[in-house]
């Protein structure tokens, strides 16, 4: 195996024996094969389109779902991923048979096998290191990780009935291009930027899907304590799964709590009518070993991020959608299908209520429309000098000790700064008493990682309000924490919007070669982080 797609990769260079995330070598390899045959499927779909033939939305969904399945911490189940490989190979064969012309399809599109051994052997030859040129490899991986992020966002929009075929076509076109040895470094850099542009489009369609279906997020206080009824904890990002769970648990004598990236669901008006939707339990994903133990009830993982569970609570873990873990019950149901959560509800009824680990509340819901509703207040605070700077601290949290930096950084910020956040990075500082500025909280949480889109819209609105020509003239500092591939697409999306001088930590991605880092530094001013003291001085001097 060789995997370096996330921030926690071994030795900041690559996992080669087992993933720091817990991914076994066989799983990593079969994921590589899944990516390979999905590139093949994309070749076939692009060839069909060239011939003027229509590609079904269901085929587009296979491409995005396959990419999503290989995201960090989403699916650890060898058997499920092998089944995806077989399904994709079958599609490749059937769809290729519909082509009328000769298209020179590559091995990725034509390779077929039913043998587990052959698949395992093939998988070893199609991984990241199959690209020998370091810079080409770096750019290919940067693009693929961005595509994985887009695929995840697209899938969440698809389950709510929203489709954007041009994004699916881009995903498939980009996959064929990264497999084309004729593409130069410059062409791959251009494709990276285009990936960022489609990242914005992907987040926009998900934002449209979420807000059309569930309303605009509004300022909401979320309880972080517990009640006395048994609970079901729901984690991940899929709001449709949450909706189905809330409907099925009504009047059942169990409460529903959010975990980690599901917290922002509380901000949507549509979920407020459920009296048994009581609060948020715990923190960011990486603390789940302790927190799932003390939760006592069943836990539904709708997407990433799964930490391999301890035996003591493994029978309480359920997965659905792209998530999977061997030995945990998977709840079936594809796009447009109802899911049956009765097994979870039945188990919950026999469980003790969650053990209290915290008390109090957190406030969030500062997505675009809510902040714009406060625009006069915000603009007045900037004009009067009450707010001197905004600091975008979006992104992910992770288990590395070095991420204590983000809590310390938030504490060390001057009192006249406001943090704009989205994603699970916020758990490093959203329970600190950071106060407010004239009634505007100093931490404005827009929502999940995809709601970084809201932060970009807020920046664009401020640029308009202040009559600026360049988004970089705004008093905004970017100090983003990354962990997995959705943060990669958020970064590329910000670059495509022209944002410069983004600081990325706690370490720069291992998959960036020195040449690619150089390009990002020269063109976009991308930089890492230092100590809190150094960075506070540096970032404020940069503005
Ligand atoms: Fe390692 Fe991250 Fe890949 Fe897991 S996802 S194997 S931790 S690089």
Structure tokens at 339: 């899911």
Ligand 1 pocket, mutate which of 16, 21, 31 (most atoms under 8 A from CB): 21
Instruction: Sort strands 231-235 and 299-301 into parallel, antiparallel or unpaired.
Output: parallel
**Enclosing H/E stretch for 220:** strand 220-223
Q: Is the CB of 148 under 6 A from ligand 1?
A: no
530 CA to middle of ligand 1, Å? Answer: 24
The domain segmentation of the chain, as residue ranges, is: 1-130, 220-349, 368-542
Q: How many whole angstroms separate alpha carbon 348 and alpha carbon 317? A: 11
Three-state DSSP state, 23: coil
Q: Is the CB of 306 under 6 A from ligand 1?
A: no
Ligand 1 pocket, mutate which of 6, 285, 507 (most atoms under 8 A from CB): 6
Q: Where are the beta strands (DSSP E) in 360-501?
A: 361-364, 389-392, 417-421, 436-437, 440-441, 443-445, 476-481
CATH of 220-349, one of 3.30.43.10, 3.40.50.2030, 3.40.50.1100, 3.40.1390.10: 3.40.50.2030
Residue 375: per-residue pLDDT: 86
455 CA to middle of ligand 1, Å? Answer: 28
Cis peptide before 101 (omega within 30 of 0): no
Q: Is the CB of 70 under 6 A from ligand 1?
A: no
Q: How many whole angstroms separate alpha carbon 369 and alpha carbon 355? A: 36
Among candidates 65, 55, 38, which has minimal Cα distance to 165? 55
Q: How many whole angstroms separate alpha carbon 96 and alpha carbon 409? A: 54
196 CA to middle of ligand 1, Å? Answer: 23
Q: How many CA atoms lie within 13 A of 308 on its CB side?
A: 10
Residue 541: per-residue pLDDT: 85
The 3-state secondary structure of 113-151 reads: CCCHHHHHHHHCCCCHHHCCCHHHHHHHHHHHHHHHHHH
Q: Is the CB of 19 under 6 A from ligand 1?
A: yes
Residue 260 contacts by C-beta under 8 Å, 6 or more apart in sequence?
A: 235, 236, 282, 283, 284, 285, 288, 305, 424, 427
Q: State yes or no: ipTM above 0.85.
A: yes
* CATH architecture, range 368-542: 3-Layer(aba) Sandwich (3.40)
Q: Is the CB of 15 under 6 A from ligand 1?
A: yes
Cis peptide before 292 (omega within 30 of 0): no
* CATH architecture, range 1-130: Up-down Bundle (1.20)
Q: Is the CB of 142 under 6 A from ligand 1?
A: no
Alpha helices in 160-223 (DSSP H): 165-178, 185-214
Q: How many whole angstroms separate alpha carbon 274 and alpha carbon 411? A: 35
Ligand 1 pocket, mutate which of 7, 14, 28 (most atoms under 8 A from CB): 28
182 CA to middle of ligand 1, Å? Answer: 29
Ligand 1 pocket, mutate which of 1, 2, 4, 5 (most atoms under 8 A from CB): 5
Q: Is the CB of 23 under 6 A from ligand 1?
A: yes
Q: How far is CA 56 from CA 47, 63, 525, in A?
A: 14, 12, 41
Q: How many whole angstroms separate alpha carbon 301 and alpha carbon 529? A: 32
Structure tokens at 542: 């940069």
Q: How many CA atoms lie within 13 A of 414 on its CB side?
A: 14
Q: What atom in ligand 1 is closest to the CA of residue 10?
A: 1
Among candidates 102, 81, 77, which has minimal Cα distance to 22? 77
Q: Is the CB of 32 under 6 A from ligand 1?
A: no
Nearest protein Cα to ligand 1, atom 5: 72
The 8-class DSSP code of residue 388 comes to: -
Q: What atom in ligand 1 is closest to the CA of residue 73?
A: 5
Same fold yes or no, 220-349 and 368-542: yes
Q: How many whole angstroms separate alpha carbon 340 and alpha carbon 11? A: 42
354 CA to middle of ligand 1, Å? Answer: 31
Three-state DSSP state, 420: strand
Q: How many whole angstroms separate alpha carbon 448 and alpha carbon 431? A: 17
Residue 315 contacts by C-beta under 8 Å, 6 or more apart in sequence?
A: none
Chain center to CA of 278: 25
65 CA to middle of ligand 1, Å? Answer: 19
Residue with tokens 């920046």: 459
**Enclosing H/E stretch for 152:** helix 134-159
6 CA to middle of ligand 1, Å? Answer: 5
Among candidates 439, 474, 436, which has minimal Cα distance to 457? 474
Q: What atom in ligand 1 is closest to the CA of residue 510?
A: 8
20 CA to middle of ligand 1, Å? Answer: 6
Q: Is the CB of 396 under 6 A from ligand 1?
A: no
**Ranges under pLDDT 50 in the chain:** none
């Amino acid at each position: 195996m060789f995997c370096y797609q996330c921030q926690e990769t071994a030795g900041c260079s690559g996992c080669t024996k087992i993933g720091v995330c817990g991914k076994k070598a066989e799983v990593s390899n079969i994921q590589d094969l899944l990516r390979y045959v999905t590139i093949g499927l994309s070749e076939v779909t692009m060839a069909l389109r060239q011939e003027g033939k229509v590609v079904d939305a269901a085929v587009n969904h296979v491409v995005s779902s396959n990419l999503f399945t290989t995201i960090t911490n989403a699916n650890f189940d060898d058997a499920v991923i092998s089944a995806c490989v077989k399904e994709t190979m079958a599609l490749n064969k059937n769809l290729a048979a519909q082509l009328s012309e000769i298209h020179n399809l590559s091995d990725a599109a034509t390779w077929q096998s039913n043998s587990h051994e052959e698949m395992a052997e093939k998988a070893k030859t199609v991984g990241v290191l199959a690209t020998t040129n370091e810079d080409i490899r770096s750019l290919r991986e940067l693009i693929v990780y961005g595509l994985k992020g887009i695929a995840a966002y697209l899938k969440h929009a698809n389950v709510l009935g929203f489709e954007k075929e041009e994004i699916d076509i881009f995903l498939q076109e980009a996959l064929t291009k990264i497999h084309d040895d004729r593409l130069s470094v410059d062409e791959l850099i251009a494709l990276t930027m285009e990936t960022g542009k489609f990242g914005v489009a992907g987040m926009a369609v998900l934002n449209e899907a979420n807000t059309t279906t569930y309303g605009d997020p509004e300022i909401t206080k979320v309880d972080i304590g517990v009640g006395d009824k048994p609970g079901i904890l729901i984690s991940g990002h899929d709001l449709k799964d949450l909706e189905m769970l809330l409907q099925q648990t009504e009047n059942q004598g169990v409460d529903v709590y959010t975990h980690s990236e599901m917290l922002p669901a509380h901000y949507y008006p549509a979920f407020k009518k459920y009296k048994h939707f009581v609060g948020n339990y715990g923190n960011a994903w990486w603390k789940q070993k302790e927190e799932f133990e003390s939760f006592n009830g069943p836990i539904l993982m709708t997407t990433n991020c799964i930490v391999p569970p301890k035996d003591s609570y493994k029978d309480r873990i359920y997965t659905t959608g792209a998530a999977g873990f061997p030995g945990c019950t998977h709840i079936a149901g594809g796009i447009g299908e109802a899911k049956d959560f009765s097994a979870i509800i039945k188990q919950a009824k026999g469980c003790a209520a969650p053990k209290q680990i915290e008390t109090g509340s957190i406030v969030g819901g500062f997505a675009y429309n809510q902040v714009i509703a406060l625009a006069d207040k915000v603009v007045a605070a900037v004009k009067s000098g009450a707010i001197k700077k905004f600091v975008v601290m979006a992104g992910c949290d992770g288990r590395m000790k070095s991420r204590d930096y983000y809590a310390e950084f938030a504490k060390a910020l001057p009192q006249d700064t406001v943090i704009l956040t989205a994603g699970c990075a916020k758990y490093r500082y959203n329970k600190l008493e950071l106060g407010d500025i004239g009634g505007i909280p100093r931490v404005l949480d827009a929502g999940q990682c995809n709601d970084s889109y809201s932060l970009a819209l807020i920046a664009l609105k401020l640029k308009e309000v202040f009559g600026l020509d360049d988004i970089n003239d705004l008093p905004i500092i970017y100090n983003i924490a990354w962990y997995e591939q959705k943060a990669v697409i958020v970064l590329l999306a910000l670059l495509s919007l022209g944002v410069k001088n983004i600081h990325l930590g706690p370490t720069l991605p291992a998959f960036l070669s020195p040449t690619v880092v150089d390009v990002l530094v020269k063109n976009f001013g991308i930089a890492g982080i230092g100590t809190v003291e150094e960075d506070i001085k540096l970032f404020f001097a940069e503005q």
